[in-house]
C-alpha cells in the first residue's frame, strides 16, 4: 500500500525528506497541468511547479491538515501562477512604454507569431480557447481552471483562493459567459 | 413558466446543483434544454485546449531539480533521503501499527501510564484521525463526482477508478482495525463503503449511462454519502478537540 498523503506529510513535517520526495513525485504532474492551464506557457509552468514545492517546503510546518494536502498545494500553485502572470504583465507594460528604438524586435514577436507552446495548439478551437483564457481576469481564470479542468467544487475553490464561495462562483460565471460569447459562433458553425 | 437562469445551468453542468427541480425543468422545457445543450457544447469544446503531456518520470525530474535547492530543515533530513522500494512495505506496516495504536489508545486509555506517553499518544491519535478523515473525504469526492456526472451520457471514470483502488486498501485496514477495537459505527460505515469502492475499482474505464445509473442507485439506496459525511464530520471534530487540548496543555 502506498504511503498516504497524510502520513507522508506528517513524516515530512518531522524532518523526513524522503517523505517530501514522495509528495513531490506524486503531485508534480497535476501541478504542471494546473500551472500550464493558468500560465499558458510550458516554461512558466515548469517554474511554477518548482516554486510551488519550494514554498510548500518552507511552509510545511504551517500545514494543519484542515484541507487536503493536494488542495493546499493547489492554492500555493495558483498563487505562484498569479504572481508570475502579474510579473509578465508588468514586463510587457514596461516594454510597451519603452521608446520604439529601445525595444528588442524579437521581444515583440510573440503577439504576432505564436510561441512554441502556442504552436502546439494546432487547432483553431484550441487557439480560440487559449486566447479567451488569456483574456480572463486573474480571478476568473483561476476559478474557472480549478472548477473546469481540476474538478474542484466551488467551496474548495473559495478556500484555495481565500475568497468567499460566492465570489468564486461569480468568477466562474463570468468566465463561462466570456467563453460562450467567444466560442459559440465557432461551435455553432461546426455543428 | 420561469426559465432556468444561466447561473443555474452552469451550476447544473458542474454538478453543483443537482436538485430535481433543475433536472425536472430541463426535461420539460425545450427552450432551457436548448440553452443547456449550447452551454454543454461550448464547455466541452474548452476541453480541447491541449496541455503538453509529462511522462511518468516527471515527478522524479522535478525532485532532482528541487532537491539541491532545499535547505536543511530540522532533524533527520539526511537520514532517509532515498528510500528503496522495499521500505514502502515497512511504511505500510508502520501505518498498520499506528492505526492499531491509535484505536487501542482510544479505547484503552489506561495503557498510557505517564504524561509523556499520553502526549505522544495524543499526537499519534491526531495524525491518525486526520488520516481517517482524509480517507472519508477522498471517498466522498469519488462518490460525489459519480453522482454529479451529467445523466444520460457515458462517462470516463478512469481517474475515479484509480482513486477507488487506492481507497479500497485503506478502507479495509481502517475497517478491520475499527472492528477489532469495537467501534461498531465506524466499522459498519466502512463495511458498507467497501463494496461500492470495490465495484468502482474493478469496473471499466468508461461507464455506459446504464452502468452509471445503476451505480448511482446503489450509492443512493444505501445512503452511503450521508453516512460518510456524518462520520467524517465526527472524526474531524474529535481531531480538533485533541488539537485544542494539545494547544492548551502546551501553553
What are B9-67's pLDDT values in tens digits? 999 888 887 677 888 888 889 999 999 998 988 888 887 777 888 888 999 999 999 98
**Does the pLDDT at position A117 exceed 50?**
no
User: Given an 8 Å threshold on Cβ–Cβ distance, is A24 in contact with B66?
Assistant: yes
Bridge partner list, B206: B156
Mutate to test the interface with A, among B8, B16, B37, B45 (most CBs of A within 10 A): B45
User: Given an 8 Å threshold on Cβ–Cβ distance, is A15 in contact with B75?
Assistant: yes
Q: What is the DSSP string of chain A?
A: -PPPHHHHHHHHHTT-HHHHHHHHHHHHHHHHHHHHHHH--HHHHHHHHHHHHHHHHHHGGG--SSS-HHHHHHHHHHHHHHHHHHHHHHHHHHHHHS-GGGS-GGGGHHHHS--HHHHH--SHHHHHHHHHHHHS-HHHHHHHIIIIIT---HHHHHHHHTS-HHHHHHHHHHHHHHHHHHHHHHHHHH-
- CA separation for the pair B7, A177 (Å, rounded): 10
Q: Which of residues 88-107 of A touch B (CB under 8 A)?
A: none
**Interchain contact A2–B (C-beta under 8 A):** yes
- Name the most confidently modeled range: A164-168, B73-77, B174-178, B197-201: A164-168
The mean pLDDT value for A180-189 works out to: 79
User: Given an 8 Å threshold on Cβ–Cβ distance, is B137 in contact with A37?
Assistant: no
CB A142 within 8 A of CB A79: no
Q: Quick count: other Cβ atoms within 10 Å of Cβ A153?
A: 19
Confidence of residue A107 (pLDDT cuts 50, 70, 90): very low
Fold of A1-111: Rna Polymerase Sigma Factor; Chain: A (1.10.1740)
Chain A residues with beta carbon closer than 8 angstroms to that of B177: none
**Interchain contact A109–B (C-beta under 8 A):** no
Residue of B nearest to A68 (CA): B134
CB B29 within 8 A of CB B1: yes
Tell me if the pTM is above 0.90: no
**Does the pLDDT at position B83 exceed 70?**
no
Q: What is the DSSP string of A166-181?
A: HHHHHHHHHHHHHHHH
CB B106 within 8 A of CB B125: yes
Grid coordinates of A113: 507569431
Close Cβ partners of A155 (under 8 Å, ≥ 6 residues apart): A165
Fold of A121-191: Arc Repressor Mutant, subunit A (1.10.10)
**Does the pLDDT at position B193 exceed 70?**
yes
| pLDDT more than 70, % of chain A | 80
Query: How many CA atoms does the CB half-sphere of B166 hold within 13 Å?
Result: 15
Chain centre to alpha carbon of residue B4: 32
**Interchain contact A147–B (C-beta under 8 A):** yes
Query: How many residues are listed for chain B in this entry?
Result: 251
What confidence score (pLDDT) does residue A51 get?
93
Complex ipTM? 0.75
What confidence score (pLDDT) does residue A114 get?
41
Chain A residues with beta carbon closer than 8 angstroms to that of B46: 129, 148, 179, 183
What confidence score (pLDDT) does residue B104 get?
56
The mean pLDDT value for A52-60 works out to: 92
Chain centre to alpha carbon of residue A79: 8
Tell which wins on pLDDT, A12 or A125. Answer: A12
Among partner residues B49, B59, B66, which is closest to A50 by beta-carbon distance? B66
Buried b (16+ CB within 10 A) or exposed e, A39-51: bbbbebbbbbbbb
**Does the pLDDT at position B156 exceed 50?**
yes
Grid coordinates of A176: 463561462
Q: Which helix (H) or strand (E) holds B206?
A: strand B206-207
**Interchain contact B59–A (C-beta under 8 A):** yes
- CA separation for the pair B248, A104 (Å, rounded): 61
**Interchain contact B14–A (C-beta under 8 A):** yes
Q: Which of residues 147-166 of B touch A (CB under 8 A)?
A: 166
Residue of B nearest to A35 (CA): B51
Q: Looking at CA atoms only, how far is residue B2 from chain A in angstroms? A: 20
Locate the domains of chain A by residue range. 1-111, 121-191
The mean pLDDT value for A105-117 works out to: 37
What confidence score (pLDDT) does residue A101 get?
47
The mean pLDDT value for B125-140 works out to: 76
**Interchain contact A154–B (C-beta under 8 A):** yes
The mean pLDDT value for B204-233 works out to: 83
Confidence of residue B100 (pLDDT cuts 50, 70, 90): low
What confidence score (pLDDT) does residue B102 get?
56
| Angle CA B45–B152–B26, to nearest 5 | 85
Q: Which of A21-25, A136-140, B66-70, B219-223 has the lowest mean pLDDT?
A: B219-223
User: Given an 8 Å threshold on Cβ–Cβ distance, is A148 in contact with B14?
Assistant: yes
What confidence score (pLDDT) does residue B85 get?
33
Locate the domains of chain B by residue range. 6-44, 88-250
Instruction: Give Cα separations from B72 to A28, B61, B139 (angstroms).
Output: 22, 20, 36
**Does the pLDDT at position B71 exceed 90?**
no
Q: Looking at CA atoms only, how far is residue B7 from chain A in angstroms? A: 7
Amino acid at each position: 500500500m502506498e504511503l498516504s498523503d497524510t502520513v507522508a506529510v506528517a513524516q515530512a513535517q518531522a524532518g523526513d525528506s524522503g517523505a517530501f520526495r514522495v509528495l513531490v513525485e506524486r503531485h508534480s504532474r497535476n501541478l504542471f497541468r494546473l500551472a500550464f492551464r493558468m500560465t499558458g506557457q510550458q516554461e512558466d509552468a515548469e517554474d511554477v511547479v518548482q516554486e510551488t514545492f519550494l514554498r510548500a517546503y518552507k511552509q510545511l510546518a504551517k500545514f494543519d491538515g484542515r484541507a487536503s494536502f493536494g488542495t493546499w498545494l493547489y492554492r500555493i500553485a495558483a498563487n505562484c501562477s498569479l504572481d508570475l502572470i502579474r510579473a509578465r504583465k508588468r514586463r510587457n507594460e514596461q516594454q510597451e512604454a519603452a521608446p520604439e528604438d529601445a525595444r528588442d524586435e524579437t521581444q515583440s514577436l510573440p503577439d504576432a507569431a505564436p510561441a512554441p507552446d502556442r504552436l502546439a495548439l494546432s487547432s483553431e478551437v484550441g487557439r480560440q480557447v487559449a486566447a479567451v483564457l488569456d483574456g480572463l481576469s486573474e480571478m476568473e481564470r483561476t476559478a474557472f481552471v480549478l472548477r473546469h479542468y481540476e474538478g474542484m467544487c466551488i467551496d474548495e475553490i473559495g478556500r484555495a483562493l481565500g475568497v468567499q464561495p460566492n465570489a468564486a462562483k461569480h468568477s466562474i460565471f463570468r468566465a463561462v459567459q466570456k467563453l460562450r460569447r467567444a466560442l459559440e459562433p465557432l461551435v455553432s458553425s461546426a455543428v | 413558466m420561469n426559465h432556468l437562469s444561466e447561473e443555474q445551468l452552469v451550476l447544473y453542468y458542474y454538478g453543483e446543483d443537482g436538485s430535481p427541480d433543475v433536472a425536472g425543468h430541463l426535461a420539460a422545457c425545450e427552450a432551457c434544454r436548448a440553452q443547456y445543450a449550447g452551454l454543454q457544447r461550448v464547455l466541452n469544446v474548452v476541453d480541447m485546449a491541449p496541455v503538453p503531456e509529462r511522462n511518468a518520470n516527471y515527478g522524479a525530474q522535478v525532485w532532482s531539480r528541487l532537491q539541491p535547492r532545499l535547505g536543511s530543515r530540522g532533524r533527520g533530513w539526511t537520514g532517509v533521503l532515498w528510500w528503496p522500494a522495499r521500505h514502502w512495505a515497512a511504511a505500510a506496516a508502520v501505518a498498520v501499527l499506528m492505526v492499531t495504536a491509535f484505536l487501542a489508545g482510544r479505547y484503552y486509555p489506561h495503557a498510557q501510564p505517564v504524561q509523556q506517553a499520553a502526549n505522544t499518544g495524543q499526537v499519534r491519535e491526531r495524525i491518525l484521525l486526520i488520516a481517517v478523515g482524509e480517507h472519508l473525504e477522498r471517498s466522498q469526492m469519488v462518490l460525489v463526482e459519480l453522482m454529479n456526472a451529467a445523466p444520460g451520457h457515458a462517462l470516463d471514470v478512469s481517474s475515479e477508478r484509480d482513486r477507488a483502488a487506492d481507497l479500497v486498501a485503506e478502507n479495509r485496514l481502517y475497517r478491520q482495525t475499527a472492528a477489532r477495537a469495537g467501534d461498531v459505527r465506524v466499522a459498519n460505515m466502512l463495511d458498507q463503503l467497501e463494496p461500492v469502492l470495490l465495484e468502482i475499482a474493478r469496473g471499466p474505464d468508461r461507464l455506459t449511462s446504464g452502468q452509471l445509473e445503476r451505480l448511482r442507485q446503489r450509492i443512493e439506496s444505501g445512503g452511503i454519502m450521508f453516512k460518510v459525511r456524518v462520520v467524517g464530520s465526527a472524526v474531524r471534530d474529535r481531531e480538533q478537540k485533541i488539537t485544542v487540548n494539545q494547544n492548551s496543555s502546551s501553553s
